[in-house]
Structure 1
Amino acid sequence: MAESESGQEKTEEPTAKRLQDAREKGDIARSKELTTTVLLMAAAAGLMVFGTQIAADLEGMMKYNFALSRQDVFDPALIFRHLGDSAAEMLWSLSGFFLMVVIAALVGPTALGGWNFSSQALAPKFSRINPLAGLKRMFSMKALVELAKALAKFLLVGALCVLILLQQQNDLLAMGYEAVVPAMKHGMEVFGWAFLLMCATLILIAAVDVPFQLYDHNKKLKMTLQEVKDEMKNTEGKPEVKGRIRQLQREMSQRRMMGEVPEADVVITNPTHFSVALKYAEGGEGAPVLVAKGQDQIALKIREVAREHEVAIVEAPALARALYFNTELDEEIPESLFVAVAQVLAYVYQLKRYRQHRGPRPGDLGEIPVPSELRQE
């Protein structure tokens, strides 16, 4: 089991933050064998696709340059023009092959790990020239795996070369009896197939190397339990800081809530432990809305603000508790409490008319009908 410098075992999978930090440093899973295989396979495929045309263009170029008269050979301007024309013709002939190789050179390295650019990876690391660190890398598990891969590549490619030579020996010997042009095309075809088959053997090496690189990269980034805890603490903040933030959020929410109390139509109390403030748009289509609620000290503060702004305060313990526990801020009251709240609002409106000398003094509020399923004892 891998251990950290502190001696603790790295048993935890790397977190998203650790993976992101490693990526920013340029530390991502890469497989050189996969890159080599893709590049060589693309080159082999390019020879198969464009090989015949390249051979034909090479034939034309040789005819163009070798069919010079003695007078032309001693003409520097003509020779340089031939050289320029030949170079341009060959570049154009090889352009398709080069394009396939360039695309493979871009796709191969990113097939595992994706695109990534890190300026930190470009910075010089003096630890790389440390002899002790170099010796440690030479005798590490990764070095042994690299040695095994090199031997496997040598054996596979070498064995396939021998098989190809044995199988194609008749064709290779027959080329000596062919004309130059057919021999060139024939040779290009044989070379293309042989090169493709030899490159295909590297697929076996890449198939083993890719899982190993993913495993090795994940193992290297594994964390101890203490590292996970420290990262969570640094990412999410210290408990005391988080507690202070929550306290400030509660205070801001309470200040906003207290600002709604003066606009309320009634405050219903327990009378000491709970207070809820309701607002109702008379003639509106919606139900009354709970704009403030609180318990103990907050309930007392709601009543103080209500008295300062002459908002009616009604004692209805069962209804106050039912509204407190079954209605959230800025939500309409439950439908089962419509009758109870309507009775309270009617009482408040009668009381307001009495105080304005526009009606008789209302009687006692009486029993408020609160459904048994909403009662909170």
Structure 2
Amino acid sequence: MTTMKQIAQAAGVSVSSVSLVLNGHDAGRIKPAVAERIRQTARQMGYQPNALARSLRTNKTRMIGFISVQVATTPYAGGMIQGAQDALSELGYMLLTVSGDDATAIESEIRALKRYGVDGFLYSAMSNRVVDIPDSLAEFPLVLVDATDETNRFPSVEPDELRIGYDATTRLVEAGCERIAYIGCTEPMIAQTGRLSGYRQALEDAGRTPNERLICDVLNNGPALQAVEHLFDAEQPDGFFCFNDARAWYVYESAARRGLTIGHDLSVVGVDNHRVFAETLDPELTTIELPHYEMGYWAANKLVSQIEKRPINEDAWPHTTAMMPPLNTPSPVRIHCTLIEKGSVATRRASHSK
């Protein structure tokens, strides 16, 4: 087993310097270049800290609980949990993930995580929404992922929903679309409110007055398809911003029934970059990718900075599809999502002849 003394000898520094760096207490005490040399030497020598000894010495287990409220069964849980796990692994922590569908189940999982002695919690909802934080979590370091609490008491990170609507609609304006429809969601959600506001703002900034007849909020299945088909016939949009990739399918289906070609006669932008829809629709769907990995990664770093009461080296963060904001950004932190160009947006007006 590699020891701190061996690392100190190899790096040409004192054992105390190695201890400060490997225990995360080097900020303001060890020069960054020296600290990085120590970390690199430790990695090359295969250093593995004794987790049990460290937990006894510091009264910390270096374990984090991830509580997902109806998240684990969604297609997006993997990215969010992977982001948190990658960040925590780099910081020397282990992630314990639990899931529950109601308050009773969540409370039971919280008790179980407390028995393991976790140092803090990540708390995530199924989709961006305001959540009620259990009182049993109030005394612990806590960061919310894809959720906010009504009082803004805890740090939180979420997609920038207004920018999603603004960027998607602006892309359609730039493509030359003159009658841009919004296929929204009937459920009262933060995402629906933000994306619709972004849609309206983008049109206004382009010198247009939003037309309420071009806004079609739907839920799913047959009634949703019928509503979109009615919109096609009554208003004849040439561009569609869809609340998510699933709703874009109704536009594709309605267009096909009318002999219209997506990416030529019509332009469509979705949200999610959902693999089933974004990669299988023909042409492939231009979409805005939600930052699930980035939210998990950012939240884990924020939580550790709270637990250890120290700054995190953000320069070491990986390159991600969406740029992660600095950790000192006031909550709620909103991540500007990235538009992924594919084939569903037509070129300028010449492609819109019918």
TM class, shorter-length? under 0.3
More helix by share: 1
Normalised TM-score (structure 2)? 0.22
More strand by share: 2
Normalised TM-score (structure 1)? 0.21
Question: Which structure: larger Rg?
Answer: 1
